[in-house]
Structure 1
Amino acid sequence: MSVSLNTDPKVLFMTNLLEDLSSGAIKIPSFQRPLVWDWDQRHDLLCSVMEGLPIGAILIWQTKNNQMRQEKRIGPIQLKFEETFPVNQFVMDGLQRLSTLYCALFYDKNNLINDSSSLEHEVFCDLDSDSVDDLFINATHPSLKNIIKFIRDPKLNYDGNLDDISRYIPLNTILNSRLFLSHQRRISIDKEHRIDKSDEIQSAFKNYKIPIVPLESDRQDIVTKAFERINNRGTTMSEAHMVNAFSNSMQFEFLALLENLKKKYLVDKVNRNWVSIDDGIILSLVKIELGIDIYSKSPEKLSKSINESLLSKIFENFTQAIHFCERSLFIDSPSKFPYKMQLICILFYFFKCRNRDLDKLRAWYYVTTYAKAFGANARNSSNAINDFRKFIDDGVLTWSLNFKPEFSIATKKISLKNSRSRVWSHALYLKQVEVFGDSDLVTIESNLLKIPDELNNRYQSTYKNRAGMNFLCLEKTRKFSICDLSPREMSAHFLTDELVSMFNAGRYEEFSLEREQYIFSWEKDNIISTSISKLNFSI
């Protein structure tokens, strides 16, 4: 059955729309992303307004629903509104554009939240610019470094050439006639073009109009569906922000609690790479615990099930899980996992298990990486997670995916951004540990991989990313030579006398193939087979 909605568009002056944001007549729902546009994106939008180009319609949800959480900041600017309105209006699509314009035109240093990026939002106009692309700069621009306080405040006496500061005008003055005229009065008579330019800027922004599309409905499920579909056309909206807004039953701010838990359990306890762990990973852990499919969008269902106690218990085990990742898997950041789902499973393991078998967990990591358990599609990844839950219960890894696990050799296109290359690099490291003993290495970076210095220059581009031609150099040397290695060093780098002879004879393709096979044989004997045995895994 279709739902009848009023979506007749209308057009408003941009300044009136921004004033509604300032007064609270239009609100920002908590599921919206904060202002994430960078300066280049914000700059282009300002240029479009100046040139009178369309910037797209704004979608506004109109509802009598009074339970929706709302933000009280736009970018670094605190909103201070107390007035109530008979109908609530929420920005559903267009927040990045509105936030950019609001911060530029309503910038007020007295209402700033402690934000290190606040200066990037304070916009000035260069009245001597020859093109619109050079018109807008922000407070971080080098040309403003020594004069910015005099540009901001016309009452301050400036000892230098007044023309230096009258060249620039704060964009937030164009809506304040008195302040705008104060800046214009500083412009000398021989710089009349600056007055003309400032009048042109004021007129462009004051007369700019934006189309508004209202969505009138009190049904939250309909609006949620519309919002998800809108955002799926571009950058997917964070489900965590949706949960934060659609959690009327919670007695806490979901996102604020996550930040507090990160500070309590992660800050000063683990390296900073882990502190910014994605909120979506936390939601995935909650879904697994609640038996919800990890790929389903269930903000309303989650909002009714999440509680502070559950989230705290999840975070209590984070540091132990992180130490395992760093010491056993050589991974020091959430972004360095072959598959994000592996990190989620490992965090869930530490959350659920008190009697932990870390050798088996490490074996599970290797098998799922080599066999690409999480690399096919969402359905198989969901099945792999269900297999992991059974693994937690009985320590045996089953395989319910719709393809047979296969373990293949690492050959071309070695890059630590893909899963096979990561475990290949682990094998290179573990071989050195086998030969030389334990090491303090925490993570394996791409700058540790070197091709032999003796490789003929004409072949370097051909073999740069070839597995058989890359060597792991833990000493971070700028170059690597294979011709003067001791027998022990040769063994640590998967080299034999025969392989060195091939290389010296320029038989590079044969050398690469043989060394890749040598490494893979060692992987099968020392990592894959060992891991399979520990998990009682049947291929």
Structure 2
Amino acid sequence: MTAITSTFKSGEPSLPDILRDINSGKVQLPDFQRGWVWDDDHIASLIASISLSYPIGAVMLLQTGGDGVQFHPRPIQGVTVQNDLKPEYLILDGQQRMTSLYLAMSSGQPVPTTTNKGKEIERYYYLDIVKSLNPNEDRLDAVLSIPTTKQITSDFGRKIDLDLTTQENEFSQCYFPLGVIFDQNAYSAWRRGFQKMFRNDDGKLDLFDNFEAEVVNRFQSYRIPTIELLRDTPKEAVCQVFEKVNMGGVTLTVFELVTAMFAADNYNLREDWDKRKERVSEQNVLKGMDSTAFLTAVTLLSTFQVNQQDSTKPVTCKRKNVLKLTLEEYKRNADTVEDGLRKAARFLAREKIFDSRTLPYSTQLIPLSVICALLGDRFEIDTIRRRLAQWFWCGVFGELYGGANETRFSLDVPDFMEWIEDQRQPRTIRDASFAPTRLLSMQSRLSAAYKGLMALLMQAGSNDFLSGDPIEITSYFDLAIDIHHIFPKAYCESKYKRSLWNSSVNKAPLSAKTNRIIGGKAPSVYLTNIEKQSNMESSRLDNILTTHKIDPDLLRVDAFEKFIRDRAANLLGLIEAATGKGISGRDSEEVIHEYGAALR
């Protein structure tokens, strides 16, 4: 039996020691290319806690130099070290706390921070000696944050309320600068200066002695609990730490972890992605593709290629697999995935999905881009495009991409590529189903199927009631097309069930101008108004209504219930055509209860 060994050990170095190790470069950060983000209030609170010997949480460190994960290091902000200096430890959790403490107490420079509203500022930190010793004072009130001028002013700068520009002013007003607390020479010089000024004032001398004993010594003896991951800890374990125990307030993404690993090979992944993101985002529909999703797609393609050579190795793109992605694999496949994304945007435009707001599932871009990349020139073949559309719409109306999707992605790619070779349908198509009553619960853009249905209506040739223009890309952007009620909300609220009038069955993509004419009026009224205002013949307007799968005869006589059932049946027909699958249960008890009759 293999002996069980620990992957970590604990420690409790003093605060001065760990700050000295940070200053020397012995302790650095993995280069995730994320700056520290604590604001002025958080820093003041941190200082107050240490001055009272309150715990501020453990710091997690990773020993360097082993065979485990290799991160590119960088010094903590404000530290200057030689370029080739290798750290002994990297801070995995606690970056913001340790950076804040280093900058405030050991850097010798003003601390770059922000207000609680995000405005960038620079501050020095002091302790009010008198308040620090007053048990009735909140210790946080004893922490002074002061601008780089070392003056606090009022009346638009005309009145100086506090001036700490000289040590003599610090002594006379009893404000202790935290920047000297761990510098033995500077601290001794400050203490001598204070004692010299008040050599004949026993009260002040006793005050500082008490401050030194009750407050300064707490800083000097303060200990930071540490958890040290041993140098051979595997990268999967290291990365899981960020999900489980990260206390920085902002969880690190897979992309940032891979960025730090690639940086160890002198490759700037962030810079590479920023350039790709700029190119990809030229297509509005791809703006939801983030850096982690892109890495997931590259991993999916890479593992598919490996599987083609060795079927015992699975196609997969889970988090742990993305973290195993090598730089060589990334370089080999990143351009291919980017090309697949461009093809995916063309495919989506053909399906009348033009921007990220109307894209049903941004996650579906991952397998879609990889499939499009693998298709290569075959992407241009109509029969393959139609199969791609069937797979896509089955995913949308089967609502199969709303949770953890990595397993489905891993099935989608080989399933689809096999389907175009031997006719076996992908599991996403086989798994998809749609219930007739789902049309009623689809009431907002939060539903992927709702977005998909509106795209199908545009595919079907929906025209705007007023202009008669197709709801296509030009009008979509130029005329502020949105989804509006056909029987208006104000007309329906007191007459019909909300589950009916606010459902997707009673909605259509229309221009803002058309919606203003509709107002809160009955359809019989607003249709007449449209005909009068635009000098439109009734037959022309009837033709326009049918492009939305609306029976104009039912709309003109305000036959709400019959309209709902007729249009629901028509919309189900659109979904059946898109998915290539019949929808059962049109005459079920549930359908009859919700709609009032079967959907023929």
1:406 to 422, 433, 448: 433
Aligned to 1:29: 30
Q: Indicate the residue corresponding to 1:506 in structure 2.
A: none
**Measured at CA, do residues 437 and 165 of structure 1 come closer, stay the same or move farther in structure 2, by a change above 3 Å?**
farther
1:419 Cα offset (Å) = 1.5
Could you tell me which runs of 5 or more consecutive residues in structure 2 were left unpaired when the two chains were aligned.
Answer: 132-136, 195-203, 305-314, 528-537, 582-600
Structure 1 unaligned spans of 5+: 139-143, 186-191, 504-510, 534-539
Aligned match of 1:243: 258
- After superposition, the C-alpha distances for 1:401-444 in whole angstroms (9 at most, x for unaligned) are 59742123411252212222211332454566356343325589
Change (3 A) 1:437 1:118: closer
SS at match of 1:163: strand
**1:439-478 equivalent positions in 2, closer than 5 A:** 439=472, 440-441=474-475, 448-450=483-485, 451-456=488-493, 466-475=503-512
**In 1, Cα distance between the equivalents of 2:521 and 2:440?**
20
Q: Is the 8 A contact 2:9 2:227 kept in 1?
A: yes
Q: Residue 466 and residue 109 in structure 1: after superposition, are their counterparts in 2 closer, same or farther (change >3 A)?
A: farther
Partner of 2:333: 310
Alpha-carbon displacement from aligned partner over 1:313-363 (angstroms, at most 9, x marks no partner): 433554454455456443423x76433431112322443323424752444
Q: Which residue identity is paired with 2:161?
A: D
From the superposition, tell whether residues 295 and 87 of structure 1 become closer, same or farther in structure 2 (CA, over 3 Å).
closer
1:12 paired residue number:
13
Quickly say closer, same or farther: Cα 1:39–1:174, change in 2 above 3 A: closer
Match of 1:174 in 2: 178
- Aligned with 1:422: secondary structure? helix
Contact 1:326 1:442 in 2 (8 A): no
Aligned partner of residue 162 in structure 1, secondary structure: strand
**Map of 2:592 onto structure 1:** none
Where does residue 237 of structure 2 map in the other structure?
Answer: 226
> Once superposed, what is the RMSD of the aligned Cα atoms?
5.2
Residues 448-471 of structure 1, C-alpha deviations (whole Å, 9 max, x = no match): 445523234698987785334545
Shift of the 298–433 alpha-carbon distance from structure 1 to 2, 3 Å rule, reads: same
Deviations 1:475-518 (A, max 9, x none): 27578435233262654663645457567xxxxxxx4x755544
- 2:276 aligned residue: 261
Aligned partners of 2:461 and 2:483: how far apart in 1?
13
2:580 is the counterpart of 1:532: yes
2:379 matched residue in structure 1: 356
Q: TM-score, normalised by structure 2?
A: 0.64
User: How do 1:382-421 and structure 2 match up within 5 A?
Assistant: 382-391=410-419, 393-394=420-421, 398-400=425-427, 404-408=431-435, 409-412=438-441, 414-421=443-450
Q: 1:30 to 1:384 in 2, by over 3 A?
A: same
In structure 2, distance between residues paired with 1:423 and 1:342: 13
Deviation, 1:50, is 6.0
Q: Look up the SS of the partner of 1:259 in the other structure.
A: helix
2:55 is the alignment partner of 1:54: yes
**Deviation of 1:17 (Å):** 2.5
Q: Deviations over 1:236-272 (max 9, x none)?
A: 6433333334458856233333234334x347x445x
Q: Distance in 2 between matches of 1:492 and 1:388?
A: 32
3-state secondary structure, aligned to 1:306? helix
Bigger mean CA offset, 119-128 vs 254-263: 119-128
SS at match of 2:369: helix
Give distance in 2, aligned partners of 1:126 and 1:445.
55
User: In 2, distance between residues paired with 1:316 and 1:108?
Assistant: 50
Where do 1:322-337 residues align within 5 Å? 322=345, 324-325=347-348, 328-333=351-356, 337=359
CA contact 1:240–1:283 (8 Å) conserved in 2? yes
Listed one character per residue, the Cα deviations across residues 177-235 of structure 1 (whole Å, up to 9, x for unaligned) are: 67997xx99xxxxxx9xx99x99998876664321122333x2xx34243233233267
1:161 to 159, 162, 165: 159
Residue number in structure 1 paired with 2:74: 72
Report the 3-state secondary structure (helix = DSSP H, G, I; strand = E; otherwise coil) of the residue aligned with 2:224. Answer: strand
Counterpart contact for 1:56–1:211, Cα < 8 Å = yes
CA contact (8 A) 2:111 2:123 kept: no
1:423 counterpart = 2:417: no
Q: TM-score, normalised by structure 1?
A: 0.70
AA aligned opposite 2:228: P
Q: Conserved in 1, the CA contact under 8 Å of 2:51 and 2:215?
A: yes
Helix, strand or coil: the match of 2:325? helix
Deviation, 1:165, is: 6.7
- Rg larger in 1 or in 2? 2
Which residue of 507, 511, 521 maps to 2:569? 521
User: Are positions 1:298 and 2:312 aligned together?
Assistant: no
CA distances 1:122-171 after superposition (whole Å, capped 9, x unpaired): 45769999867788899xxxxx9xxx5634799xxx9721106779x9x9
Q: Which has the higher contact order (CA 8 A, sep 6+)?
A: 1
- Counterpart secondary structure, 1:302: coil
Q: Matched residues in 1 for 2:260 and 2:158: separation? A: 52
Identify if the C-alpha distance between structure 1 residues 80 and 337 changes in structure 2 by more than 3 Å, giving closer, same or farther: farther
Distance in 1, matches of 2:80 and 2:289, equals: 31
Deviation, structure 1 residue 25: 0.8
Seen in structure 2, the aligned counterparts of structure 1 residues 261 and 425 have a Cα distance that, compared at 3 Å, is closer
| Alignment partners' CA distance in 2, 1:135 and 1:389 | 67
Deviates more, 1:242-251 or 1:253-262: 242-251
The structure-2 alpha-carbon separation of the partners of 1:225 and 1:427, relative to structure 1 and needing over 3 Å to count, comes to closer
Cα distance in 2 for partners of 1:250, 1:83 equals: 15
Does structure 2 conserve the Cα–Cα contact (< 8 Å) formed by 1:60 and 1:213? Answer: yes
